[in-house]
Amino acid sequence: MTPTTRTNPPPHLGPPPYLGPPPYLAALLLAGRRVVVVGGGTVAQRRLPDLLDTGAEITIVAPHLTPSIESLVRAGSVTWRPKRFEANDLDSAWYALALTDDPAVNASVVLAAEAARVFCVRADDGNAATALTPATGRHGAVRVAVLGGGDPRRAAAVRDGVVEALREGRLDDLPRRGGGGAPAVAIVGGGPGDPDLITVRGRRLLAHADVVVADRLAPQLLLSELAPHVEVVDAAKLPRGRAMSQQAINELLVERARAGKHVVRLKGGDPFVFGRGFEEVEACVAAGVPVTVVPGITSAIAVPGHARIPLTHRGIAQEAVIVSGHLAPDDAASLVDWHAVARLSGTLVLLMAVERLAQIAQVLLDHGKAADTPVAIVQDGTLPTERVVTARLGTVADVVGREQVKPPAVVVIGAVVALRARLGAQSPGAG
Output the pLDDT for position 285: 96
371's CB contacts (< 8 A; 6+ apart) are 365, 392, 393, 394
The CATH superfamily label for domain 300-426 reads Tetrapyrrole methylase, C-terminal domain (3.30.950.10)
Position 251 pLDDT exceeds 60 = yes
- Please give the average per-residue pLDDT across 326-342, as a whole number: 95
Output the pLDDT for position 245: 86
Domains 27-133 and 184-294 share a fold: no
Position 221 pLDDT exceeds 60 = yes
Query: On the CB side of 341, how many CA atoms lie within 13 Å of its CA?
Result: 24
Q: Which of 26-40, 164-178, 362-376 is predicted with the least confidence, judged by mean pLDDT?
A: 164-178
Position 174 pLDDT exceeds 50 = no
Output the pLDDT for position 319: 96
Q: How confident is the model at residue 95 (pLDDT cuts 50, 70, 90)?
A: very high
Output the pLDDT for position 52: 92
Who has greater pLDDT, 251 or 155?
Answer: 251
Alpha-carbon span 272 to 116, nearest angstrom: 51
DSSP state of 319: -
* Pairing outcome for strands 231-234 and 262-267: unpaired
* Nearest partner of 375 among 350, 356, 352, judged by Cα: 350
Output the pLDDT for position 4: 36
Q: What is the value of pTM for the model shown?
A: 0.70
Output the pLDDT for position 142: 83
Position 133 pLDDT exceeds 80 = yes
* Pairing outcome for strands 135-139 and 142-146: antiparallel
Q: How confident is the model at residue 165 (pLDDT cuts 50, 70, 90)?
A: confident
Q: For the residues of 34-83, what is the DSSP string, one character each?
A: EEEEE--SHHHHHHHHHHHHTT-EEEEE-S---HHHHHHHHTTSSEEE-S
CA 103, 107, 109, 110: dihedral to nearest 10 degrees?
A: 140
- Please give the average per-residue pLDDT across 72-78, as a whole number: 91
Which one of 81-90, 142-151, 163-172 scores highest in mean pLDDT?
81-90
Position 19 pLDDT exceeds 90 = no
Alpha-carbon span 97 to 122, nearest angstrom: 6
* Mean per-residue pLDDT over the chain, rounded: 87
Active-site residues, by number, are: 215, 237
Q: Which residues pair with 60 in a beta bridge?
A: 37, 80
What CATH code is assigned to 27-133?
Answer: 3.40.50.720
Each residue's pLDDT tens digit, 280-329: 999 999 999 999 999 999 999 999 999 999 999 999 999 999 999 999 99
Output the pLDDT for position 429: 45
The DSSP element (H or E) to which 106 belongs, if any, is helix 103-116
Each residue's pLDDT tens digit, 104-121: 999 999 999 999 999 999
**Domain definitions of the chain by residue range:** 27-133, 138-167, 184-294, 300-426
Domain topology for 184-294: Cobalt-precorrin-4 Transmethylase; domain 1 (3.40.1010)
Position 241 pLDDT exceeds 80 = no
